[in-house]
Structure 1
Amino acid sequence: MTLLLNQCCCGCSLRTGTVIIAVFLLTVALMTTVYASVVLGTYAEVANDDPKPYEYPMDYLDRLHQRMTYEPGFKLVLISTLVGSSIQCVLNSLLLLGVSKERRSLLLTWLVSYTILLGLCILGFVIGFFRVPFSPVYQIAVFVNIVLYTYFLLVVRSYRFTLPDGQHAAMLIGGEETNIKPVFLQ
């Protein structure tokens, strides 16, 4: 049995809900990209002992220096965050383009990519139980991400099912009468 929605949670159409999801996720990805870039730049300045004291509060520089000293993977986390959020910017832009052009293939690209991301979130949730020390805040944040990504995937997938496939659309444009019926939600 396939689970499909007729409308988004706020009562708007699936198309509108998909646009809202794309804009929301694009905004979050852009903010994350900017944040990771700024912190990585600051990290580079602190690593080179070249901080500009008038630009950063001292407590921020101290915390960053401590993380740099005691967490050797911190720079790798920043770089992977920067790369991941940049990829999400591209994917969410493709989702917006797919909605505006009604291209099922672009929606499928987003669906596959975010299904992989959901799998990684679930993996992070499971691994989080074995972290020492256990962080309930981390677990709650990852759980909320899992719930949101699952709902977002369901909305976009449902919207994709309302779009005609390429063969049907081509036959409609040609003006020929066919026996092919589009799939509509009940």
Structure 2
Amino acid sequence: MACIVQSCCCGCTLRTGSLVVAILSLIGSIYNIVSGAIGAVAGIPAAWGTVVASAVALIIAIMLLIGIQKNNRSLVMAWVWINSILIVINIALAITLIALGGIAMGVSFLIAYLISIYFIVVVYSFANVDLQGPVNMA
């Protein structure tokens, strides 16, 4: 059984909480694109990977924003599933980082991922409470 909440952490509606998540995702993606491009221009070739990944994240955030605005459950759930997969991958990477000795950084990443999981729960709840009932988890 999936976790469902009835409101966002500040007591606002699931729709408002989901909009906040979408806007924060947009801002974060744009920031990462700009900082990655600056790094790439400065001669750090790996920074282009950040630019590409952040551009994909920007597209996914736009999908969420459009899904919320148009009450399109498919777009909202696409954001939920994509971010759920990314969280699993990122948690595995953070655990690997901790195992390799980067304890402080790995733990801080895990804390950030816990916040991200809550954001996923809020958006998932919006999709299932406000937009046409439960989704088949099979």
TM-score by length of 2: 0.90
Amino acid at match of 1:81: T
Whether 1:145 aligns to 2:112 is yes
Whether 1:122 aligns to 2:94 is no
Aligned residue for 1:161? Answer: 128
Q: Of residues 80, 86, 96 in structure 1, which corresponds to 2:49?
A: 80
- Please report how far the alpha carbon of residue 163 of structure 1 lies from its aligned counterpart in structure 2 after TM superposition: 3.5
d(CA) in 1 for partners of 2:123 and 2:78? 11
- Please report how far the alpha carbon of residue 135 of structure 1 lies from its aligned counterpart in structure 2 after TM superposition: 1.9
Aligned residue for 1:22? Answer: 22
Fraction of identical pairs, as percent: 24
- The 1:93/1:79 distance shift into structure 2, 3 A limit, reads same
Larger Rg: 1
Residues 84-99 of structure 1: matches in 2 within 5 Å?
84-99=53-68
TM-score by length of 1: 0.68
Given that residues 61 and 79 in structure 2 are in contact (C-alpha distance below 8 angstroms), is that contact kept between their aligned partners in structure 1? yes
Aligned residue for 1:49? Answer: none
- Extract unaligned runs of 5+ from structure 2: none
- Please report how far the alpha carbon of residue 99 of structure 1 lies from its aligned counterpart in structure 2 after TM superposition: 0.3
d(CA) in 1 for partners of 2:129 and 2:2? 14
Residues 29-108 of structure 1: matches in 2 within 5 Å?
29-43=29-43, 75-76=45-46, 78-108=47-77
- The 1:3/1:39 distance shift into structure 2, 3 A limit, reads same
Aligned pairs, number? 134
Given that residues 104 and 163 in structure 1 are in contact (C-alpha distance below 8 angstroms), is that contact kept between their aligned partners in structure 2? no
Secondary structure of 2:33's aligned partner:
helix
d(CA) in 1 for partners of 2:97 and 2:131? 42
Amino acid at match of 1:2: A
- Please report how far the alpha carbon of residue 2 of structure 1 lies from its aligned counterpart in structure 2 after TM superposition: 3.2
